[in-house]
Amino acid sequence: MVEKMLNEVPDSTSIVSEAVNSELSRRSFVKATAATLAVAAAAGTLSSLVGCGGQGGVLGVGNSKVYTSVCRFCGCGCGVLCEVAGGRLVSVTGDPDNASNKGLNCVKGYYLAKVLYGKDRLTKPLIRKDKATKGTDSGLTEASWDEALDLVAEKLKAVWKEDKSRLAFWASGQQPIVEGYLTAKFWKAGLLSNNIDPNARLCMASAVVAFMNVFQTDEPAGCYEDLDLADVFITWGANMAEAHPVLYSRLTARKLNDSNVKHYDLGTIKTRTSASANKTMLFKPGTDNAIANCIANYLVSEEKYDKKFVEAHCQFKAGTEDLGNAYEDGWDATDKLQEATGNDGVWGIEFSEYADMLKKYTFKYTSELSGVSEADLKELAEVFADKNKKVMSLWTMGVNQHNRGTWMNHNIYNIHLLSGKFAQPGCGPFSLTGQPTACGTAREVGTFAHRLPADLLVANGQHRRYTEVLWGLPSGYLGDDEEKNPGIMKPGKHTIKIFRDLSNGDIDFLWSAHNNWAGSLPNLTRFLGKGEKKGIMDAFIVVSEVYPTLSCDYADVVFPAAMWIEREGQFGNAERRTAIFEKAVDPPGDAKWDAWILMQVAQRVLDGEVIGGNDSFDTLFGTIWDKDKKDFINESQREISKIVWEEYRTFTNPTMNPTADDINNDVGDKFGVTADDGTYTPAKLKLFAKQMAPYDEYLSNHGLTWPVREVDGKWLGTKWRFAAGKQEDGFDEYGIAQYGQKDDAGKLISKPGNIDLYKTAKYKASVTFRPYEPPAENPDAEYPFWFCTGRLLEHWHTGSMTRVVPELDRALPEALLDMNAADCEKLGVKDGDMVTVKSRHGEFNIRVSTAGRTAPPAGVVFAPFFAKETLINLAVHDYYDPLSKEPDYKKTCVSITKA
């Protein structure tokens, strides 16, 4: 019957003509379209039917037009096709030609229909005239754009001239690449300030630091296709079923296709992901580092590791172990941390030393520590010992939001490297991302306080010089002398430092764009002026937003921004896929493209400023903005985006600029970049390792995974970085050919099936011993419970978009505290009771659920963070990982009492 159905699916032309000829009602036509598309999607033949770009198909018929796009919500970055008629979005279809999702979307795809059209969209600039109203949902009044822009520019310029350490920009993984790139350029080159950091600091920073430590390049080696090919999946503290549903659907499809495929779920609570895993292993919070070391110990002590792989591709290191826990102001500057992070705080060791360090992590010791049985630990270790198994590890916030999150990232790589399960189809560690374009915008264009575009670092002279060349700045403009001309040599304030300083009254100007820190930051009691620290009330705060959020309650000016397909944008997802969402509709009211808002402020602030004798603003933004017109040089956002993209792309295509190419090729010391002793050290930038394609290629290919290579006039993506093989099959042929390890005769050492870690200095990944460290807080008589926080399916982060969709709000109307029944009984509370959750940092009230979405074991409780009326972050501590500066949202100790 199935085959019959599929055979009956007519081609697109006949559907259209049938619809027209037989004068089927519109409804019948839409139904036929719906059925045709879904049958084709199930069969994997959707591509020919959708008729994108007016090529003929079932979409875009009549007066409607179809635009290529990417889902607005999470880091999966699924392609969608947006059909627009009469100036509004009328349908959304999974994009079959975007290889990240192949035509399927999760139920959040429904929200796309409504996210543009929710109640209360911000459509006019707002100004707060009476500071006394700060912290409330009133006091903002409508203003003209000129009034709001003049005010913001005046405040920013005043603080900048007075003391630029007292200004900050909090950027976002919700913003497209071009907007993030322009913002970083304005802040770093225009204002010479590194006080810009993204909200990705709260979700991905631990992953980023580990990538750089282990492989010297950010982002995963593998891709989503690994989900279709692995034999064993391990989720480490990740509720993929709710947080990454489309990817989880691929994982379950793989399991259904082969009964030998297994999924182990490791975490501190049972989730929807646990429900479908073959085995769930619940561990005591924080002991994941011990579990990974236990696996490593087994592989090494039993000699079950991949000796050939280890010898060829690994070097061993140890690092500073006593890092303490970061809570106090000024903690970053302590000797302990300086020692730990100087030179990465690591040193080389022999393999035998590494083996000795692991010895403590026996099955017995680890089982007692973690609560996972010895048998289960052994079963997991055997997975890595089995040379024939392709293993994929997946993780997000459980690992990253961890007081030793960078270490846990290291430890996952360690067991994959020891077992040689790395960068091959279906086999390797894969760091999932949370936010939509955290990879593309926050990580790749340099909106971190320590970074420049393309993984370059502000603290590295050659990196700054390379950037100066591409930004048309005089040599040394970004700094060349710590005393006399520091420029941006010193990294700026990371996110938590920005907000700690803000609360202490040490930040006078904050601009945040597309993030809701007043709901999402940990320890809101500390940051929102609810404790003794009131700095937030005095600072001048600017918020760029699409809907009113809690952060707007603290804003002095709110800029109404265009969202999603109301402007052109570029998206970088978790598998290194860059894709474009086209502008398809106009923003409502006076809402504007963020790039326009930024340029307006930049023109005002940089008025009269010069760089090397030339006008500052024109030097930085003259290619896209006409100062006399006070607008872009071209009305087309496509054209503006292309100009910016081509400039950004030069960072990863050095040959587009001869001087940049010389720096990339280490042509002597003619660029004045020398070490203190006057010698020149080759920079080995290897920037083609992140090569991006021309803008139009992303439109015609519906996204490409970098590095993208031009082969016979065609641009091809890379599915498996560092893996030898043919480019057209998805392997990293050209990267290895260019930078790979060669023998004395100049011949490449790697063969198909091998890897070449060409981005590292010695062609070797770093396996660094990282021990178990107890969490920053541990349960005691006063605060006996672990409190874990997270996200559930219906609501995206702080709910600023999803809670304006009534049905979603009804589906999950209230944040509940999931508790174990035994704990409830002990406390005398029952399902539905209101309780007060109190920590050393703050408290909030919440309703208890014993039949909630998650099922915590005794001693652990869980609540999501989407609800502004249940502000759980008031009680969550802001201890952070000393290496990544990412806070640990998962292990605050609390008491629970009946309210």
Partner 1 sequence: MVISSLVIEAIPDQVDSVAAELAKIDNVEVHSTQDYKVVVLVEAETVDASHAIASSFINIEGVTGINLVYTNFEDDPDIIEAVSQ
Please select the residue that binds partner 1; options are 20, 253, 610, 711, rule is CB under 8 A.
253
By CB under 8 A, tell whether 387 contacts partner 1: no
- Number of residues forming the site for partner 1 (CB under 8 A): 53
Amino acid in position 81: L
Site string for partner 1, 14-43 (x = CB under 8 A): -------------x--xx-xxx-xxx-xxx
Q: Up-side HSE of residue 426: CA atoms within 13 Å toward CB? A: 13
Alpha carbon distances (Å) from 507 to 148, 169, 188, 538 = 20, 11, 17, 9
By CB under 8 A, tell whether 93 contacts partner 1: yes
Please list every residue from 546 through 575 that binds partner 1, using CB under 8 A. none
Shortest Å, Cβ 257 to partner 1: 8
Closer to partner 1 by Cβ: residue 39 or 457: 39
Shortest Å, Cβ 397 to partner 1: 22
Closer to partner 1 by Cβ: residue 63 or 343: 63
Shortest Å, Cβ 708 to partner 1: 28
For residue 342, the 8-state DSSP code is G
Nearest-angstrom CA–CA distance, 353 and 196: 40
Output the DSSP codes for 654-694: GGGSHHHHHHHTT-TTTTS---TTS--------GGGG----
Site string for partner 1, 193-232 (x = CB under 8 A): ----------------------------------------
Closer to partner 1 by Cβ: residue 113 or 667: 113
Catalytic residues: 108, 203-204, 397, 434-435
Nearest to 284 by CA among 654, 779, 634: 779
Please select the residue that binds partner 1; options are 113, 610, 711, 822, rule is CB under 8 A.
113
Instruction: List the structure tokens of 734.
Output: 């050209």
Nearest to 516 by CA among 868, 765, 215: 868
By CB under 8 A, tell whether 2 contacts partner 1: yes
Residues in the chain: 899
By CB under 8 A, tell whether 811 contacts partner 1: yes
Please select the residue that binds partner 1; options are 82, 611, 755, 808, rule is CB under 8 A.
808
By CB under 8 A, tell whether 590 contacts partner 1: no
Nearest-angstrom CA–CA distance, 812 and 865: 12
Nearest-angstrom CA–CA distance, 626 and 603: 10
Closer to partner 1 by Cβ: residue 117 or 347: 117
Helix (H, G, I), strand (E, B) or coil at 104: coil
Please select the residue that binds partner 1; options are 103, 405, 519, 654, rule is CB under 8 A.
103
Shortest Å, Cβ 379 to partner 1: 24
Closer to partner 1 by Cβ: residue 224 or 889: 224
Nearest-angstrom CA–CA distance, 184 and 182: 6
Please select the residue that binds partner 1; options are 555, 805, 860, 876, rule is CB under 8 A.
805
Shortest Å, Cβ 818 to partner 1: 18
Bridge partners for 894 per DSSP: 785, 839
Please select the residue that binds partner 1; options are 807, 814, 834, 897, rule is CB under 8 A.
807
Alpha carbon distances (Å) from 344 to 338, 402, 452, 768 = 10, 19, 19, 11
Closer to partner 1 by Cβ: residue 86 or 608: 86
Closer to partner 1 by Cβ: residue 98 or 789: 98
Residues 731-735: contacts with CB under 8 Å, at least 24 apart? 732/707, 732/756, 733/709, 734/688, 734/707, 734/709, 735/688, 735/689, 735/707, 735/709
Site string for partner 1, 286-315 (x = CB under 8 A): ------------------------------
Closer to partner 1 by Cβ: residue 110 or 365: 110
Please select the residue that binds partner 1; options are 109, 572, 790, 852, rule is CB under 8 A.
109
By CB under 8 A, tell whether 851 contacts partner 1: no
By CB under 8 A, tell whether 100 contacts partner 1: no
Closer to partner 1 by Cβ: residue 106 or 442: 106
Closer to partner 1 by Cβ: residue 3 or 869: 3
Please select the residue that binds partner 1; options are 47, 48, 165, 249, rule is CB under 8 A.
249
The residues near 48 (Cβ < 8 Å, ≥ 6 apart) are 11, 12, 40, 57
Output the CA torsion 460→498→74→116 (10° steps): -120
Contact 317, 349 (CB under 8 A): yes
By CB under 8 A, tell whether 90 contacts partner 1: yes
Torsional sign, CA 283, 288, 293, 296: positive
Question: Which span sits near partner 1 by CB under 8 A: 91-99, 294-302, 707-715, 738-746?
Answer: 91-99
Shortest Å, Cβ 26 to partner 1: 8
By CB under 8 A, tell whether 46 contacts partner 1: yes
Nearest-angstrom CA–CA distance, 617 and 611: 9
By CB under 8 A, tell whether 459 contacts partner 1: no
Q: Is 505 exposed, middle or buried (0-12, 13-18, 19+ CB in 10 A)?
A: middle
Instruction: List the structure tokens of 27.
Output: 């409804």
Q: What are the backbone dihedrals phi and psi of residue 234, each rounded to the nearest 5 degrees, phi first?
A: -125, 120
- Which residues of the shown chain bind partner 1 in the complex (CB under 8 A)? 1-2, 5-6, 27, 30-31, 33-35, 37-39, 41-43, 46, 83, 85, 88-94, 103-107, 109-111, 113-114, 117-119, 245-246, 248-249, 252-253, 256, 276, 805-808, 810-811
